[in-house]
């Protein structure tokens, strides 16, 4: 019965499946990205917070990505494992992996919260929080409350892809949207009439995360293709190893982004202090604040890219489990075309409307230097959006195919080798602008490598030689079979 409930993934038109699964996933991820950017919009437009609050938000942002990295490793890995297991008819593996994912998520979230609270000062300092006193005070206040909400945030994010793997992408979307709407409603109330400042922005965010987590808990007791049982929560290392292997690419893509952001934020602080304008105390926070805004816009765009690909995970996993590699190849082609098209639209927006974008973040109440740097940052930093989208979509799709190795390598090369060393090297020649040149340069170099991998994947899918170590057809799937 459980297998038949998802059998349409093998027969339904691919464009219909992409729309059904990717659209809710895109909405979920974009809305999740709006959690932080909505805070930043309201903070930027509050006279008593302004660019200091914006810079503080930028400092804390990578620390939420660390939590997200752990959550998506668990959630995306379990999603891929559950989908492949259902496609191969192994429902017992599916429900046990979900139970173990829940236990792992709860444990790691509590540990991370403790680390954040105990090591708050050195962590904030590492990410540029002490650019000036006002920024540090705001960052510390905001981070304290965000850290308290980490278990709810991580649980909601980890369960979201698992809910999609159960055949309910719409519910996954609704739970995320409900949390974001809560945040959007509470933010202006807490920040403006109640004057709660950074604490208000953080509490509004956590309230939304609690709602999303609560809806996920409700769904776990009303699943469709998979039914949780008592033995689902029996901690088994073999299940954890298997789904974490499939999710490690998601983790590395996020955690390597944190490493890259740390390098970029430190270089912006360092070379901003050498700039004739930004070396002045009253303008010192501007590069950090603006960079955060630009990165948030990029996060929205890349959320669409990831949503397109992540929505394909249940479809690809099921078809690979069912031996339909032809459908996996056709879906890959469709995905790459959509990634490039959406990347082009995003590129037009940042190149043609940078002033309009920065005006949303309180540019009217800031100095002219704020707007001028923002325009330059948007146009340089994001000029290779098309390539960035194709790269990211490919990384996730490789994960869906069970090809964790190539996906992991590409992610590490992009975010660590290029994403860390280029921001360190280029500013030596170009000064503060060198930090901005690093991002598009990294995407160009990564795209060259990505094209090589794409060609290899097409050949393997055409020859039926893919997933040698992680999945197979219904007649045999040695590495995923229960011993």
| Tens-digit pLDDT profile for residues 34-64 | 766 788 888 888 888 878 888 888 899 889 9
> By three-state DSSP, how is residue 450 classified?
helix
- Any bridge partners for residue 473, and if so which? 476
**Entry field: residues in the chain:** 483
Residue 314's pLDDT band, with cuts at 50, 70 and 90, is: confident
- Specify the residue for token string 């704020």: 370
The whole-chain average pLDDT of the chain stands at: 84
Q: Please give the pLDDT value at position 482.
A: 27
Query: What residues contact 82, with CB distance under 8 A and at least 6 apart?
Result: 94, 97, 98, 162, 165, 166, 226, 317
102 vs 162: CA distance, rounded Å: 10
Is residue 236 within 8 A of residue 100, CB to CB? The reply is yes
Please give the model's pTM, rounded to 2 decimal places.
0.74
Q: Please give the pLDDT value at position 470.
A: 40
Query: What residues contact 258, with CB distance under 8 A and at least 6 apart?
Result: 62, 63, 65, 66, 69
Ranking 235-239, 290-294, 440-444, 475-479 by mean pLDDT, the lowest is 475-479
Residues 54-79 have a mean pLDDT of 89
In this predicted structure, the answer to whether residue 471 has a pLDDT above a threshold of 50 is no
Residues 108-112 have a mean pLDDT of 96
Q: Please give the pLDDT value at position 464.
A: 62
**CA-wise closest residue to 38 among 209, 287, 265:** 209
Q: Please give the pLDDT value at position 5.
A: 57
CA 237 to chain centre: 26
- Count how many Cα atoms sit within 13 Å of the Cα of residue 371 in the half-sphere of its side chain: 13
Higher pLDDT, 444 or 237: 444
CA 91 to chain centre: 29
Ranking 180-184, 240-244, 458-462 by mean pLDDT, the lowest is 240-244
Is residue 58 within 8 A of residue 374, CB to CB? The reply is no
* Crossing angle of helices 368-381 and 286-310, rounded to 10°: 30
Q: Model confidence over 319-353: pLDDT tens digits? A: 777 777 888 888 899 999 999 999 999 999 999 99
Higher pLDDT, 231 or 161: 161
**CA-wise closest residue to 376 among 428, 426, 437:** 437
Q: Which structure tokens are listed for 120?
A: 């708050």
């Amino acid at each position: 019965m459980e297998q038949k409930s998802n059998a349409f993934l093998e027969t339904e038109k691919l464009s219909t499946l992409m729309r059904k699964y990717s659209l809710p996933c895109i909405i979920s991820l974009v809305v999740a990205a709006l959690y932080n950017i909505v805070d930043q919009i309201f903070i930027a437009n509050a006279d008593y917070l302004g660019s200091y609050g914006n810079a503080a938000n930028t400092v804390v942002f990578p620390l939420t990505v660390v939590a997200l990295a752990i959550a998506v490793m668990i959630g995306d890995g379990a999603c891929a494992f559950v989908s492949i297991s259902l496609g191969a008819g192994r429902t017992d593996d599916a429900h046990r992996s979900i139970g173990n994912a829940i236990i792992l998520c709860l444990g790691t979230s509590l540990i991370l919260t403790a680390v954040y609270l105990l090591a708050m000062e050195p962590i904030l300092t590492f990410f540029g929080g002490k650019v000036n006193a006002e920024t540090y005070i705001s960052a510390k206040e905001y981070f304290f409350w965000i850290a308290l909400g980490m278990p709810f945030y991580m649980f909601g994010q980890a369960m979201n892809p698992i809910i999609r793997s159960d055949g309910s992408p719409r519910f996954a979307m609704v739970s995320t949207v409900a949390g974001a709407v809560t945040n959007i409603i509470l933010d202006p109330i807490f920040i403006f009439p109640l004057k709660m400042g950074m604490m208000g922005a953080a509490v509004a965010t956590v309230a939304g995360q609690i709602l999303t987590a609560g809806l996920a808990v409700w769904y776990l007791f009303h699943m469709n293709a998979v039914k949780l049982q008592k033995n689902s929560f029996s901690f088994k290392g073999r299940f954890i190893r298997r789904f974490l292997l499939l999710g490690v690419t998601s983790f590395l893509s996020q955690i390597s982004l944190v490493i890259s952001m740390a390098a970029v934020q430190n270089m912006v602080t360092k070379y901003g202090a050498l700039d004739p304008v930004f070396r002045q105390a009253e303008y010192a926070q501007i590069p950090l604040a603006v960079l955060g805004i630009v990165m948030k816009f990029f996060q929205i765009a890349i959320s669409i890219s990831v949503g397109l690909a992540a929505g394909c995970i249940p479809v690809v996993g099921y078809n690979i489990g069912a031996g339909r590699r032809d459908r996996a190849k056709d879906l890959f082609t469709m995905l790459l075309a959509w990634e490039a098209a959406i990347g082009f639209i995003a590129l037009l927006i940042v190149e043609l409307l940078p002033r309009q974008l920065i005006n949303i973040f309180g540019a009217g109440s800031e100095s002219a230097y704020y707007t001028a740097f923002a325009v330059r940052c948007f146009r340089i930093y994001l000029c290779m959006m098309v390539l960035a989208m194709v790269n990211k979509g490919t990384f996730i799709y490789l994960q869906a195919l069970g090809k964790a190795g190539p996906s992991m390598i590409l992610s590490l090369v992009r975010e660590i080798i290029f994403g860390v060393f280029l921001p360190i090297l280029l500013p030596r020649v170009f000064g503060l602008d060198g930090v901005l040149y690093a991002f598009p340069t990294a995407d160009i170099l990564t795209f060259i490598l990505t094209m090589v991998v794409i060609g290899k994947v097409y050949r393997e899918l055409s020859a039926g030689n893919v997933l040698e170590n992680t999945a197979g057809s219904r007649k045999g799937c040695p590495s995923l079979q229960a011993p």
